[in-house]
Amino acid sequence: MTHDGYDVDAGRLAEQASQFEPLSSRVAAIHRGLADALSTDGACWGTDQVGQSFSAVHAEPSDDVVARLSSLSERLGSVGTRLSDTASTYSAGEDDAVDRVKAAEQ
């Protein structure tokens, strides 16, 4: 579909959108594995002065990364859904325009 200087290939957009679901599933599996490993091992740096120093610097950023990774899977799935919906909207708009042109020709 071409309009005001841009072109949309709705079929290709839909095809690319479908690649987000496997990516989302892979990220979710990575998150589960990482979260399970971290919860099983616990504070593996120890409770001595060096371990506490390490924890003070690295524990919070580590927890932040794990939390962000948990939402990344959902966000990727959402992007895929939005791209797929956009492709459908473009296709429907193009089909409607073709139907209107055909009806006007009759």
Q: What is the pTM of this model?
A: 0.68
- Cβ atoms of 27 and 79 within 8 Å: the answer is no
Q: Give the residues of the chain that fall short of pLDDT 70.
A: 1-5, 42
Write the DSSP string, 61-100.
HHHHHHHHHHHHHHHHHHHHHHHHHHHHHHHHHHHHHHHH
Predicted confidence at residue 4, as pLDDT, reads: 65
Q: Where are the domains of the chain?
A: 13-63+74-96
Which amino acid is it at 86? T
3-state secondary structure of 44: coil
Predicted confidence at residue 1, as pLDDT, reads: 53
